[in-house]
Chains A and B, each alone.
Chain A
Amino acid sequence: MKKDLLGIADLSPDEIYRILETAEAMREIGERPIKKVPTLRGKTVVNLFYEPSTRTRTSFEIAEKRLSADTLNIAVATSSVLKGETLADTALNIEAMAPDMIVLRHASSGACHLLSRICRSRIINAGDGMHEHPTQALLDAFTIRQHHPRIDNLKVAIVGDLLHSRVLRSNVLLLTKLGAEVWVSGPPTLMLPGIERLGVHATASVDEAVTDADVIMMLRIQQERMQGAFVPSLREYFNVFGMTAERVRRAKPGVIIMHPGPINRGVEIASDVADGPYSVILEQVANGVAVRMAVLYLLAGGVEEGD
C-alpha cells in the first residue's frame, strides 16, 4: 500500500483484492461477542469532517474503535472555515499533535491531495468533492462479491446523477480495473464529458443500461438539482430515470440493487425496490465497517512498503 488512500485511481487490482480479502477477515470480528481487537492500540486516528456525514463518519469511527485506535472527531462547520484558518493550517495544527492517520471528508475535489503533500500522517479520503470516495467503492465491491464472487464477468449499471457523484467515479475506476462491464446512465445534463475514455458504456436510456445487468447501483439525486436546470422536476426525474420494479425486471434474475445512501424514496428509487428482495442497501452499510477496518489496518502498517 502507498502512504495514503486518496482514490481508487492509485490502487492496482492486486491492492484492491488485498483490501477486499482483509475485509473478509475483519467482518468476522464484527460477528464476535466482543467486537474488538488490539491491532491499532496506541494509534491515533483523526476523523476530520468538513461536510456533514452520518453514515461514513460513524462507519469509520466504529471501524477505528473495533481496532482499538484512539479516535478523535473534528467536525468543521463550513461557515467557520470561511472566516477561519485554511485547510493547510488546520492540517498542520493537527499534524503537530502527531496522529497516525487523518480521515478527511471535504467538499473540494483534491483536498486530500493537498493534505497528502503537507502531512506525514497517512491520509484516508472519506470523500472529496465530486472526485472520489474510495472506501465506498471498496465496500460496494465487497458487497457485490458476497453475491457474485467474480466481478470480471458482471454487467454493472450505475444510474443517477453521474456528474456530481464521487461514488460514481470511484466505482467506475474500481469496477473497470477488476474487469466488469460497466454501464452508466442518467440525464444528459448530468453526464460526465469524456467518461467513455474510462472504458464504460454511457447511455441516457436506463432500460438499456439495466438490461441483463447483474448489479444495479443507484446514485442519489440532490433535491436542488432543479435549480441548475439539470432536471425539470423530481417527478419527471422519477418517471424517466427512477428505478422501478418494472425496470428491475429487465435485469438478470439474480440482480442486486445497491445505493450508497441516503436514499430519496420515490425520486431515484421506488420504495418497493429499495425495500425489496434484491436490495442489498443495508448490507452495504454493514460491510462498510469491515472494509474500513481493512483499510485502516493495511495503511497503519499491515505491511510497510515504500511509496
Chain B
Amino acid sequence: MPTRLLKGARIVDPANGRDGEFDVVIEDGRIARVGKDVPAEHGVSVVDLPRGLILCPGFIDMHVHLREPGQEHKETVATGTAAAVAGGFTAVACMPNTLPVNDNAGVTGYILRKAAEARLARVYPIGAVSRGQLGEQLADIAELREAGCVAITDDGRPVATALLMRRALEYAGMFDMPVIEHCEDQTLKGDGVAHEGFHASTLGLRGIPGAAESIMALRDISLAELTGAAVHIAHMSARQSLDAVRYGKTRGVRVTCEVTPHHFVLTDDMLGAPVPYDTNTKMNPPLREAADRDALLQGLADGSVDVIATDHAPHHYDEKHVEFDRAPFGITGLETAISLCFDRLVHRGLVSLARLVELLAVNPARILRVSGGSLSEGAPADITILAPDLPVTVSAARMRSKSRNTPFDGWQLRGGVAATIVDGRTVYVNDSLPECEKLRV
C-alpha cells in the first residue's frame, strides 16, 4: 500500500491536544506523521480531502452484540463489522452472550478468526464473568485474556451475586481487566418490559423502575471500592445511576460508565406514539422519562459520562413482529450513532467535537486498554472521517447490519460519517460523498 498524505481536514485529536488543520501521513498502516504543511515526498500519494471534513482517531464502540456464534440469523461478525465501519467505528467490543457463551478460548478464537476474515473493523471480544453466564462459577478468565478478551461481563444480565462480583473484580483486577456490568436488580425488574411511569401505566405495560438499575450500580461501586478494581457500568439509563457514578468518582473509586444514543435521544413517550407498542422501542434498560434523558445529556456535557456505546442488539424481523411483551429487548445502533451524536449533542452545543472524540475514542481505548484513541505518530492508522453538516436520512432498508430493528428509520439528522480507515486501509466511504472515493487506493 503506498504511503498517503491526507490534506485539508480539520484534525480533532484531544489525546494530543490537537484541533486544527493538519496533514496526516499514513505509512504501512500506521500514522507516520501529523503536522502543518507536510511536503509530498516522492512516491507519496496526496489525497486532498473536500473542505469541512473532520478527521479523528477511530471510534470504538465498546458495547455491541455480533451474535456469532449461534444467532447468525440476527447478525454475523462480518455483517456486524460492516455495519460498524459504515457507522464510523474502527473497532467494536462484542458481548459474550452468544450461543455458546464466550466463556472459553475456543469461542474467543472463533470470533477473532471471523473478524480477521471480514477484515473490516477490529473486534475485541469480551469474555463472560461466569461459566455459561450462569452466575455460579467464574469463567477461566486468564484463558480468556490470553485468547484476546479485553474485559469480562455477564451482559444481558447482571453478575448474579455480590460475592461473585467481588471475586470477579478481584480476579480480573490481577490483569487490570475491567468488569463491565449490566446493572439490573432482577427481582425489581420482574417481568417488566418498559420504564415504570406514566406511559407504561396508560399502555398497560409492566414497569421497570430506574432503581432496578441504580441499586446494582451502587452495589458494584461499593465492591469496586472494596477491591480497588475497575468496574464499568454499561448502558446507563437512570438518573439515579448517574448520581451513583458521580458519588463513586468523588470517592476515587475506579468506576466508569457508558450511555447509548437511544437513551440520550428518546424517552418513554415513544411507547405510545407515533406507532403504539412499536417493538423497536423495547430495549433493556428501557427508554426512560425526560428527567432521565436530560440528566444523561448533562452527564455527557459535564464529563460524568465516560463513553458513548451503542448496545447494538440486532434481532430478526420475525422476532420483533410480535406482541410487545413477547418481543426481545434491543435495537441496532452502529449505523445511527454518529448522526445522532452530531444532531443531538454537537450541533445543539452540548458537547464539543473534542469531547465527542473522548466519548467515542479516547475513553473506550483507555478503559479497555486497547490501542487507538489518538492520532499519535506510530499508532495504527485507525481513523474516522466525519462530515459534520451532511444531511442524513436514516434508512433501515439500506443498513449493512443483518437486522433492521431501529426506531430511527426515516429520521432526518445533520452530520454523518464520510469514511472509515482501519490499519491504513479505507474500509468505508459514504456513497453520498463521491469526492471521498479517492480515499480508496
Q: Does B198 contact A (CB under 8 A)?
A: yes
Q: Knowing A86-B321, A87-B322, A193-B201 touch, does A113 contact B277 (C-beta < 8 A)? A: yes
Q: Does A76 contact B (CB under 8 A)?
A: no
In the assembled complex, the Cα of A201 lies from the Cα of B20 at a distance in Å of 59
Q: Knowing A109-B204, A169-B202 touch, does A193 contact B321 (C-beta < 8 A)? A: no
Q: Knowing A86-B321, A86-B322, A129-B325 touch, does A109 contact B203 (C-beta < 8 A)? A: yes
Q: Does A128 contact B (CB under 8 A)?
A: yes
Q: Does B431 contact A (CB under 8 A)?
A: no
Contact between chains at A193 and B204 (CB < 8 Å): no
Q: Does A88 contact B (CB under 8 A)?
A: yes
A130 partner, pick from B190, B204, B326, beta carbons under 8 A: B204
Contact between chains at A88 and B276 (CB < 8 Å): no
Interface residues of B (CB under 8 A from A): 190, 196-198, 200-207, 275-277, 318, 321-326
Extra pairs beyond A86-B321, A131-B205 (4, CB < 8 Å) = A117-B275, A131-B204, A169-B204, A195-B201
A131 partner, pick from B197, B203, B322, B326, beta carbons under 8 A: B203
A106 partner, pick from B200, B206, B276, B323, beta carbons under 8 A: B323
Chain A CB count within 10 A is highest, among B196, B201, B204, B326, for B204
Q: Using Cβ atoms and an 8 Å threshold, which residues of chain A touch B200?
A: 193
Q: Using Cβ atoms and an 8 Å threshold, which residues of chain B touch A110?
A: 203-205, 276-277, 323-324
Q: Does A65 contact B (CB under 8 A)?
A: no
Closest approach, in angstroms, between the C-beta of B288 and any C-beta of chain A?
13
In the assembled complex, the Cα of A86 lies from the Cα of B327 at a distance in Å of 11
A128 partner, pick from B201, B204, B275, beta carbons under 8 A: B204
Contact between chains at A113 and B326 (CB < 8 Å): no
In the assembled complex, the Cα of A88 lies from the Cα of B207 at a distance in Å of 25
Q: Knowing A86-B322, A194-B198 touch, does A114 contact B204 (C-beta < 8 A)? A: no
Q: Using Cβ atoms and an 8 Å threshold, which residues of chain B touch A195?
A: 198, 201
Q: Using Cβ atoms and an 8 Å threshold, which residues of chain B touch A193?
A: 196-198, 200-201, 207
Q: Using Cβ atoms and an 8 Å threshold, which residues of chain B touch A131?
A: 203-205
Q: Using Cβ atoms and an 8 Å threshold, which residues of chain B touch A289?
A: none
Q: Using Cβ atoms and an 8 Å threshold, which residues of chain B touch A192?
A: 201-202
Q: Using Cβ atoms and an 8 Å threshold, which residues of chain A touch B326?
A: 108
Contact between chains at B204 and A132 (CB < 8 Å): yes
In residues 186-204 of chain A, which contact B (Cβ within 8 Å)?
Answer: 192-195, 197-198
Q: Mark A135-178, 1 if CB is under 8 A from B, else 0.
A: 00000000000000000000000000000001001000000000
Q: Does A182 contact B (CB under 8 A)?
A: no
Closest chain B residue to A10 by CB distance? B276
Q: Using Cβ atoms and an 8 Å threshold, which residues of chain B touch A106?
A: 323
A113 partner, pick from B196, B206, B276, B321, beta carbons under 8 A: B276
Q: Knowing A86-B321, A87-B323 touch, does A109 contact B197 (C-beta < 8 A)? A: no
Chain A interface bracket (under 10, 10 to 19, 20 to 34, 35 or more): 20 to 34
Q: Using Cβ atoms and an 8 Å threshold, which residues of chain A touch B206?
A: 130
Q: Knowing A109-B205, A129-B204 touch, does A194 contact B197 (C-beta < 8 A)? A: yes
Q: Does A243 contact B (CB under 8 A)?
A: no
18 contacts between A and B (CB under 8 A): A9-B202, A87-B323, A88-B321, A106-B323, A108-B325, A108-B326, A109-B205, A109-B324, A110-B203, A110-B277, A110-B324, A111-B323, A114-B277, A114-B322, A194-B198, A194-B201, A195-B198, A197-B198
Closest chain B residue to A117 by CB distance? B275
Q: Using Cβ atoms and an 8 Å threshold, which residues of chain A touch B324?
A: 108-110
Q: Using Cβ atoms and an 8 Å threshold, which residues of chain A touch B325?
A: 108-109, 129
In the assembled complex, the Cα of A131 lies from the Cα of B323 at a distance in Å of 13
Closest chain A residue to B321 by CB distance? A88
Closest chain B residue to A116 by CB distance? B276
Q: Using Cβ atoms and an 8 Å threshold, which residues of chain A touch B276?
A: 110, 113
Q: Mark A61-93, 1 if CB is under 8 A from B, else 0.
A: 000000000000000000000000011100000
In residues 250-284 of chain A, which contact B (Cβ within 8 Å)?
Answer: none
Contact between chains at B204 and A166 (CB < 8 Å): yes
A114 partner, pick from B197, B205, B207, B323, beta carbons under 8 A: B323
In the assembled complex, the Cα of A194 lies from the Cα of B203 at a distance in Å of 12
Closest chain B residue to A118 by CB distance? B321
Closest approach, in angstroms, between the C-beta of B361 and any C-beta of chain A?
39
In the assembled complex, the Cα of A110 lies from the Cα of B323 at a distance in Å of 7
In the assembled complex, the Cα of A286 lies from the Cα of B205 at a distance in Å of 31
Chain B CB count within 10 A is highest, among A106, A113, A228, for A113
Chain A CB count within 10 A is highest, among B197, B198, B276, for B276
Q: Using Cβ atoms and an 8 Å threshold, which residues of chain A touch B197?
A: 193-194
